[in-house]
Structure formats: C-alpha cells, structure tokens
Structure 1
C-alpha cells in the first residue's frame, strides 16, 4: 500500500483481529484434537466462555457417538446443542448458577467405569463459571475474595492459585471425581504460557501449589479474608496425586496461533509483522507507554523493524483499581488510552486492541481503535484525557470518539490481541 488513510489502516487492523479470532473457532480447530472414540459412555463436561461452542463442535464432529453431560458458559454465550446440556452463569464473579453447574458436572461424572470416557472442554473464564466453594466456605465469601483479587492487580496465575485452594472442583479435583474413567481435556488457552494448570484453574490437572503461596499472594495485595476462609486455608488437605490420573491435555487453540494468523494477514497486505510475545503481562497503562516507545523507534529509526510494520502482542494485562474510583473501562481500552496519551498525536501510527472473546472486562465492546488524531478529536469534544485515564474511564473515551470495537460474543477466547501499525 503506497498511501495510508484512517480507513485503510483501520481496515487492515480489523482484518488482522478477525483472522486471530477465526483461528480459534472451535468448529474449525477442535476436530484435529479429538481422541479415539470410547468403548463405553462418553460424558462431556466443561467450563469457559468457549465451552458451549466447543460442545456444539464436538457434537458435529461425532454425530455417531451418544453423548451426555453438562458444560457451563457465560451469560449470552450459549449455543444450541442436541445432547449436551448448556448452563449459563456469571463472569468474572461467580453467581449461584456457577455453583449449581459445578454440582451438576460432578453428578454427570459419578459412577463411571474405566471403559467410559470424560471429555472436558475448558477455556478462559471457566474458573468463575464453575465455582464450587470448598467445604466450610460460602459462595458469598468466595465471591468477596474474588472481587478483591480482581481489583488488586493480581495476575491471572495468582488469582487462580487462590481459587484452587478455595474450591472443591479445581486443581485436578474434577479428574479425581471422574475416576476410574480417563479424562481427555480439550483446551482453548487464554493464559500466558498455555499452562493447563492455569486455564480455568486446572480442574483436570493435578496442582502442586501450597496454602503458603496463597497466604503470600493475599498478603502481597493486602487482601483480607473472612475468618472461615482463613480457617479453611489453615486446615491443610491432601493435594491431588492419585497415580490413576494421567492428564491428557490437547490444545485446540492458543494465543500464539492467533497472533500467527494475524501476522499472515499482515504479510498479505505488504506489512511486516513483529510478534512481541503472546504472554505479555503487567499494568495496562504501563504497557501502553512502553509500546508507544517501541512504535516511535520503528517510525524514526526502522528499529527493530522497518515500516510499514505492525507490532503484534497477546497476553493478559491488569488494571489495578484498589480503593480508587473506577468508571467504565477494560484492559484493552485502558492500554489504548495510555498508548494514545504517550504517542501524543504521533502521525502514521494506528492501533487496535481487543479481547478475543468480544468483551473487554465487563463492557459490551471487545476493545477500540486509536488514530493519530484521537487526542485532537477528544480535545474538541472537551474530554479530559488524563482524568479519564486516572478514573479508568477508557470505555467512555472511545465511545465518545465512536472508535469502540463491538463484535458481540465470539464464542472463543485466546485472550487479548494488540496490534500497532506504523507506516
């Protein structure tokens, strides 16, 4: 492309984003990960934003296999299935349906034999959607701890470590309940490193974390817990170590594959892609400042790549709210608002960032676009950029500029996709 305009740049970034999402479509990706068909029953369980779509894909791939079971997904993410029951529950904080779904899932895998097969469909969001508080803890108490974790700035790995020790289904305990039936876990990863023990808090993968680690995490982020939670954490329980549990985990889709799909589109458009990593973490606002510096280096020095280029990255950043004010925002829009502020109207640089599940935080947008004139247009509308950033009101900023990305639920989830185009 010889001439770049806002429309051309936006179209290129949107095409990369859609390619990343398409690469994680369960109907296209799941079929290559299926195990041998079982001799006995096949019970399907699962949790996550993509679990319902994965269940429908499994039914389509195995029309000759009688299936049963239960999966739980986020409200608004259900699809039609013929044999597998779909339940909807709350995310990112569990509700009563999350607990009901967990009990139904355990009931579905009760009284199985070694000839039967359990297929677990696991994707991001499963940790809150499949919530079974450990004996001695109420759902309300677990909700309070989870809400505090979400506001604290803790990483997804740290949050899930705490969740495992407050749960009777996570950290391999679903697989333990299924014995003697084997479990094959099909995963759409949304976590840095694709560690199955971290995805949805690893319900089918034995966990080696300790109560001491949980206590250290809670202390580090100054999170107080009810006395009942403290007592449960103090009463040690045996980790899941049954030798009959032989984890068979198969990756259906990953953030790395999504970024490679976006990079392929960039190549086709004559843009040089540079994948900076699929597992970037840290504060969203700080990452925005760092990425602005890299983009400037590309623009002015052709380092580390010459223009036209696109910087691609994935992973899950955090937004630390603490006791401060929080209005409307999400990881991706906060990243973009910080990026735009740091770029300060730099020409020939556009950007987009969005959550591949179609929902950034709790808002109805996946993310947003940044244009070279974003700050100028905001000023013309009387928006206070610094105040909106401080109040975590990034959604409102991009809504005012009509630059939000709204896809609706995509029924998959390989976490955030960020792309910065420099021409």
Structure 2
C-alpha cells in the first residue's frame, strides 16, 4: 500500500470515482518502484555482474562502490545491496530529510531539498572522495533520482552555499522549467553536467537513473551536458533574475562564458570514457501502467501526454475542461473513462504570496472550480515521490462537489489559490493525499475519472 489515507479520501464526495482514481494511482506508482526496477537491470550469476548488457567478472574487480543522490535513491541502494551482498565495498548516498531508513554497507545521509544545505555539501564531498580514489579495477554504481541536484551540492570555488541557496530559491520561485534551472545549476557545480563521471576515471562508472524530467532522457552529474555558460546567463535573463543573482555567481558565469576550458563536458567527450548511463524508469512507464489498470477496471482510457507543463492552476483548468467535454459530448472518448497525463507543472510565486502548498494541490483545486456541480467527475494530481512542493502532502483529489463542500465550510478556494495556500484547503476538506515512502520519483501523475 502506497497511499496512507484512502479511507478518509473516499469517505465523502463522489465516492465511486474517488475509489477508482486512487486504485489506479496506487497501481501506477507501485509500477515504478525503484527497488523493483533496479533488480530488473542488475543480475549476478556465477560471479558475473550484468548491468544492461555490460558484464564484469567480480573476481577481477578490486572494489564496488555505490554513490549518488535523490529522493528515491535509497531504494536503488537497497536493491544493489541485496544483489551484491558481500561483494559490495560500500558507498554513500544523499536522500531528502525525513528518510529514516538505513542500509548496511551504504551510508545514507539526509540533506536539504528543495534548497541545498550543509549536510548535502559534506556528504557530496565524501562522494567526490570515493570517485577520485577509485582505481582502474574499481566499479562505481551511481544512483540518481529526482532531487539529486539539490541533494548533491558542490558549488564551484568562490560560490558560497548561501549564494547557491539564493540562486536556487530564485529559480524555483520564478516558475522556470526544470531544463532552465538545470542549465544554470550545471554551470555552478564542481560535479554536475558530467563532471562527476570525469572525476571517477580511470574507474568504470555506471549510473542507474530514474527519469524525473520532461525531456525524458538520462540526466545528472554523470551525463554529458548539451548546454553552455552563455545559455545559463540567458536563462537567468529570460526569467528576469539576472539583476538579483549574487555577484559571485554572475562573476563565475561571465568568466565561464569567456573561457571555453571551463565548459561542462559534452556528451561526445564522455562517450570516450568508461562512463555508462541507464534509465531504469520514467513517467511513460507509469502512465502506461495507469492505463493498463484503468482498462482492467472496465474504463475506456487515453494517455493525453507524458509531457504536461505550464502553470499548475492553468493546467488544472485546461484538463478539467476536457473532462467536461467528455461528460457532455462523449469526446474525445466516452464515459466511463479514465484520462491520464504525466509531467510536471510549476508555480510562479511573487514576494507577497507566501502560503503553503504545492503544484499538484493547486492543479487539483483549480480543476475543482471548473468542474463544480458536475456529477461523476473526479480529478487527482499526485507527486510520485510522495511530496508536493515543500509539503509532506503528495497532492489532492477533488470532484464536482468539492467547491460546494468548501463553501459550506467557509473556505474560499479561489482566494487560497491566489495566495498559493492550497494545503490548508486540501487538509480541511480531507482531500489531501498522503503516502508512505513511494520509493520512486518520475514527476507527477494527473488522472481524471468520468463516469
């Protein structure tokens, strides 16, 4: 069981639609469990380790280390420990604060997310130490999942952790898409943008990556970077952040733009090294699992997209409009049906808007205004890692009765959305979804049930 409070969530509103939605979400999230996915990629037989077509004779390896970071990296580490057992030398991974589970041989360090902190900095220094000491006959398995960019901070010389926190917050509050954020972060770090893979040479480094980005491609500190210092500067200017950027960061980016030797390693450069990257799971896999479950439950189904982006409230309103079209005119498919989407929407926060919430909660509550009074429509939006923004809520589930219930409770959903204060609404209405550790992170799941 992934979702903690199913009984509470199905105790009110349109109960049949809610039960179907949560059953599908449960199945979909479990389908991309990082422990299970890792065990499909690693195989150990007769002292021969195979990782997606690559083979190593353990008798010829001196050490096997595990390093990495991310909100679902614990599960990858656990799978590797269970497979390699006594053959594993050790290692260290960083996880989001609150992850209390520990491993036998791999050190697990809780660190700050979404803003980087000193715990992450110190742990990443240990990761760098392992990468740099590894020798020709050593194998490094690098586990990367969503959240690794914040959980593995290692700013360039001259950039303080406080400045790194400042630029991270500016980027997150701006509502910039993740590719723009990572373009900047890659050029402020000693390890990002493929630099960790170079550090690990002459050892072999194999990365197991759970995809948590719209682009759908392997990413992280062992993947070659297609972006440049110039593009990092342009990204900051595009989102009107350049003037607010700390001087140390401006200086570094300008220096990097003028000095080609400082540029991050390209994919072509890393292909010459003993560095291999494998995607073990993604949002597409999850959406397809959701569709499979929906059809098994007797629902017509469609996957609209696995690349949903944009402002969360606007995206919620748009998808709610599709649900109404289905209910009224049986298009693009007929009820009973499930409409599935994956992706990652964002929230742009102004200085005077400081409520508590997250993009999935905003998506769902905005949708609830659009479907108000519509019977037999249920909409759910969940962060697959079990957290939504800075909250411990995964997301929210709403239906055509949500707005009426809110008004009866004296809650103004529109006003709360305007202040990005969605959590208190979802909690009061008992529509906030809570999960146990999901052991995955493949962006977000959006689901509409129309009966």
TM over 0.5: yes
What are the within-5 Å matches in structure 2 for residues 117-136 of structure 1?
117-136=139-158
Instruction: Give the 3-state SS of the residue equivalent to 2:87 in structure 1.
Output: coil
Give a deviation string over 1:101-143, Cα, whole Å, max 9, x none: 1100011122322321111100000000000011110000010
Would you say the 8 A contact 1:330–1:394 is kept in 2? Answer: yes
- Which residue does 1:330 correspond to in 2? 358
- Which residue does 1:16 correspond to in 2? 24
- Which residue does 1:100 correspond to in 2? 122
The yes-or-no answer on 1:368 pairing with 2:396 is yes
- Which residue does 1:339 correspond to in 2? 367
Instruction: Give the 3-state SS of the residue equivalent to 2:129 in structure 1.
Output: helix
Deviation at 1:96, TM superposition (A): 0.3
C-alpha distance in 2 between matches for 1:366 and 1:279? 19
Would you say the 8 A contact 1:187–1:250 is kept in 2? Answer: yes
Corresponding residue to 1:414 among 436, 442, 445 = 442
C-alpha distance in 1 between matches for 2:406 and 2:34? 39
Would you say the 8 A contact 1:327–1:392 is kept in 2? Answer: yes
Deviation at 1:17, TM superposition (A): 1.0
Corresponding residue to 1:226 among 226, 236, 246 = 246
The yes-or-no answer on 1:354 pairing with 2:382 is yes
- Which residue does 1:239 correspond to in 2? 264
C-alpha distance in 2 between matches for 1:104 and 1:151? 30
C-alpha distance in 1 between matches for 2:440 and 2:370? 32
Instruction: Give the 3-state SS of the residue equivalent to 1:192 in structure 2.
Output: coil
Superposition misfits of 4+ residues, deviation over 6 angstroms: none
The yes-or-no answer on 1:151 pairing with 2:159 is no
C-alpha distance in 2 between matches for 1:62 and 1:419? 38
C-alpha distance in 2 between matches for 1:289 and 1:175? 42
Would you say the 8 A contact 2:17–2:450 is kept in 1? Answer: no
C-alpha distance in 2 between matches for 1:104 and 1:335? 39
Would you say the 8 A contact 2:73–2:143 is kept in 1? Answer: yes
Would you say the 8 A contact 1:259–1:275 is kept in 2? Answer: yes
Instruction: Give the 3-state SS of the residue equivalent to 1:45 in structure 2.
Output: strand
Task: Report the TM-score, using the length of structure 2 for normalisation.
Answer: 0.89
Corresponding residue to 1:183 among 196, 201, 205 = 205
Which stretch has the larger CA shift, 65-74 or 5-14?
5-14
What are the within-5 Å matches in structure 2 for residues 240-389 of structure 1?
240=265, 241=269, 244-389=272-417
C-alpha distance in 2 between matches for 1:169 and 1:71? 14
Would you say the 8 A contact 2:201–2:274 is kept in 1? Answer: no
Would you say the 8 A contact 1:354–1:368 is kept in 2? Answer: yes
Unaligned runs of 5+ residues in structure 2 are: 1-12, 43-50, 257-261
Deviation at 1:246, TM superposition (A): 5.0
The yes-or-no answer on 1:72 pairing with 2:94 is yes
Would you say the 8 A contact 2:342–2:443 is kept in 1? Answer: yes
C-alpha distance in 2 between matches for 1:229 and 1:129? 19
Task: Report the TM-score, using the length of structure 1 for normalisation.
Answer: 0.95
Give a deviation string over 1:176-224, Cα, whole Å, max 9, x none: 1100112111011111132223xxxx20011121111111111111112
Would you say the 8 A contact 1:24–1:188 is kept in 2? Answer: no
The yes-or-no answer on 1:402 pairing with 2:427 is no
- Which residue does 2:15 correspond to in 1? 7
C-alpha distance in 1 between matches for 2:64 and 2:315? 45
54 and 243 in structure 1: CA distance in 2 versus 1, 3 angstrom threshold: closer
Deviation at 1:72, TM superposition (A): 0.5
Deviation at 1:243, TM superposition (A): 5.4
Would you say the 8 A contact 2:303–2:340 is kept in 1? Answer: yes
C-alpha distance in 2 between matches for 1:25 and 1:303? 33
Instruction: Give the 3-state SS of the residue equivalent to 1:352 in structure 2.
Output: strand
Would you say the 8 A contact 2:346–2:359 is kept in 1? Answer: yes
* Count of residue correspondences: 415
Would you say the 8 A contact 2:193–2:221 is kept in 1? Answer: yes
Deviation at 1:9, TM superposition (A): 1.6
Deviation at 1:419, TM superposition (A): 0.4
C-alpha distance in 1 between matches for 2:138 and 2:253? 35
C-alpha distance in 1 between matches for 2:228 and 2:410? 51
Deviation at 1:409, TM superposition (A): 3.0
Deviation at 1:7, TM superposition (A): 2.4
Deviation at 1:324, TM superposition (A): 3.2
Unaligned runs of 5+ residues in structure 1 are: none
C-alpha distance in 1 between matches for 2:382 and 2:421? 16
